[in-house]
Amino acid sequence: MKFLFDDAAFSFQALRTAGHAAYAGADLGEVLAACRNIPDGDEEAWCRAWTAVAERLHRVGAEALAAGHRVSARESLLRASNYYRTADFFRVEDRDSDLESARLARCSRQTFAQAAQLFDTPVVPLRIPYEDSTLPGYLFLVDDTGRSRPTVIHHGGYDSTLEELYFMAAGGALRRGYHVLAFEGPGQQSVRREQGLVFRPDWEHVVTPVVDHALTRPEVDPERLVLWGTSFGGLLAARATAFEDRFAACVLHNGVYDFYEVPLRGIPPYLGEWVTDGRDDVAGPALAVTLAQSTQARWFLRHGMWVFGAKTPPEALRACAPYSLDTAAALITCPTLVLDAENDLPFHGEARRVYEALRCAKELMLFTVAEGAGEHCQEGAALRFHQRVFDWLDERLARA
């Protein structure tokens, strides 16, 4: 779906940002005004335009809060958080040394934290014990009664932030009586920035400590615990569920079977062979040409270098190789919902591949272009997407 830009990466990211309007994370007029000032493919202009609108709303939120306008402050700060995230998205040249990227990410976290204090329902910031460190999270509660309820444990994927998870799942979950424990793991945004931890394929070692922590909370019903992974997180969640048996259901949003094959399908076969064989003397220059020609490829590989701790684009591609469900899919035992999107071309066929490999109770749920939900992870169609997923969860957990 073309949305405001011819550049596919810009179009999708603008749709992603606008789609969070369903839970007060954007306003369509602001999105249109910001994008009007951005030439196609101009990453510097992208950052400037989104930073400007984020900073304006940050000021509006602070002024509203000082004047005692709680709802206005919350709504302004939520949008500011989303727009700061958007402003930072394409700043992947050297994230570890990019002070402006660090500032934008910090502002996104801070504005969301300020907004969360103004919610009508309780929001509990978490530091979840993990190995010799902790993982950041939020526990979004339906109310303050302490009542035990079904609880979704939610993590993102390759590039989502902890704060964005509210718009992706928690907003819809709270309306339906689900608590949500959202967290970031190794390789993901603030954990990568602040602790230097990169992705790991044995994701069960990340999820199990989160489950342990969740079950210390009286609000969490241990018999109605759901794992939900978004985007690349769909693969990670499937891997975790294969080795963690305390879940009543799992949502793969969307299904991804092999994270190495996905980027390889986007480059010539001979180049894929060079990468796989470690022939970086020829693969490196060839990938440099690809980087120069495609915003999406440049972002994917540069971001991959950061989240996997790779030094070169070929290394970043090879780092994707261990992320496969070859040995894990058949081990999942809980009912599993695999989401698919009709227009999710980079991941075409991945969800069905996951579905066919599963041996548990399962369902493949396709979202179409005709219903406006055919893009990757149903971006731009949050209400339709949540309606179908939570109706499925309601039915499955009622049987638990």
- 334-346 b/e with 16+ CB inside 10 Å = b? bbbbbbbbeebee
Which residue is associated with the tokens 């230097």? 196
The sign one gets for the Cα dihedral 383, 12, 254, 206 is negative
76, 160, 231, 324: which one is catalytic? 231
Instruction: Choose among 365, 361, 332: nearest CA to 351.
Output: 365
The DSSP code for 322 is T
| Helix, strand or coil, per DSSP, at residue 253 | strand
Residue 310 burial (CB count, 10 A): 18
Q: What DSSP string runs through 101-136?
A: HHHHHHHHHHHHHHHHTT-SS-EEEEEEEETTEEEE
Tell me how far CA of residue 1 lies from CA of 45, 54, 153, 237, in angstroms. 22, 25, 30, 27
Tell me how far CA of residue 206 lies from CA of 197, 236, 246, 325, in angstroms. 12, 10, 14, 17
CA–chain centroid gap for 125, Å, is: 18
Q: Which helix (H) or strand (E) holds 367?
A: strand 362-367
- Residue 133, beta-bridge partner list: 130
For residue 101, indicate whether it is catalytic.
no
**Residue 99: CB partners within 8 Å, gap ≥ 6?**
none
What residues act catalytically? 231
